[in-house]
Amino acid sequence: MRFLNNIEYRRIESTEDLEDIARIRYRAMSSVGLAPPDGTILIDDLDFKPNAHILGIYFDERLVSTLRIHHVTSSERDSVAVAHFPDVMNPLLDAGHTFIDPVRFAADPAIMREYPMLPYLTLRIVTMATDYFQTDYCLSVIKPNHRAFYKRIFNFKPMVEPRYFPKYGSNIELHWSDRIADLQNIYDRFPFFNSKPIERRLMFAPQAQLGMPSLTVRPTAQYAFERLN
């Protein structure tokens, strides 16, 4: 909660901001030896889809991490989960289910070492998006070594057996959590994931609804927590 006082969230909508996102993705990938030498895949087609929301997390006005979410519905199916597991996802979308698909988590390695809580504050975006869009489920497309972390935080459960993807040289897993069954429990265990409706609206509402340019969004977890107690 104290660290949140120094955190700001920003919607990434300009070319200049997207270049900053590419740089932090590169630093994050470089730290684990996965950065492409020619800079490809740092920005991809899914960054520009209508259902994509790219958020930057700023600490003392410095970009320190980022996350992209897709609001996936039967009419807007662009997402990593659908691209990698179409046989699983498309029947669920045909049946009318809706999803948040969060991907592209990247953080400045130096900041991560100094502030290990940074992934949690970045992943607040996941609960805010799930809450704002009132989706049925939240997804996670991950490698096996990340499974325990996401299960502990979001109570993710596997949707299908892991599948091997040659381009990653690894198995990839698809997990999900149920908004109705799991979201309130997440708020109870991790109060800093909570937020007020105004914060969620500033993060995800269309600009036409806001009637103003995108602004820096300050976390409201502390106020939401105090209101509940």
Residue-wise pLDDT tens digits, 48-100: 999 999 999 998 888 999 999 999 999 999 999 999 999 999 999 999 999 99
pLDDT at 213: 63
Judged against a pLDDT cut of 70, whether residue 102 lies above it is answered with yes
Provide the mean pLDDT of the chain.
Answer: 88
Residue-wise pLDDT tens digits, 150-185: 999 999 999 999 999 988 888 999 999 999 999 999
pLDDT at 135: 98
Distance, in Å, from the CA atom of 210 to the CA atom of 188, rounded to the nearest integer, reads: 30
Least confident stretch, 17-21, 87-91, 130-134: 17-21
With cut-offs at 50, 70 and 90, classify the pLDDT of residue 225.
very low
Q: Token pair of 202, please?
A: 């500033």
Distance, in Å, from the CA atom of 180 to the CA atom of 190, rounded to the nearest integer, reads: 17
What's the mean pLDDT in 102-124? 90
Judged against a pLDDT cut of 60, whether residue 31 lies above it is answered with yes
pLDDT at 28: 85
CA nearest 171: which of 69, 73, 84?
84
Q: Give the HSE-up count for residue 83: Cα atoms under 13 Å, Cβ half-sphere.
A: 11
| Greatest Cα pair distance in the chain | 52
pLDDT at 110: 86
Q: What is the DSSP letter of 144?
A: G
Judged against a pLDDT cut of 80, whether residue 45 lies above it is answered with yes
CB crowding 108-146: b at 16 or more within 10 Å, else e = beebbeebeebeebbbbbbbbbbbbbebbbbbbbbeeee
- Going 111 to 15 to 128 to 208, the CA torsion angle's sign is positive
Residue pair 84/141 in contact (Cβ under 8 Å)? The answer is yes
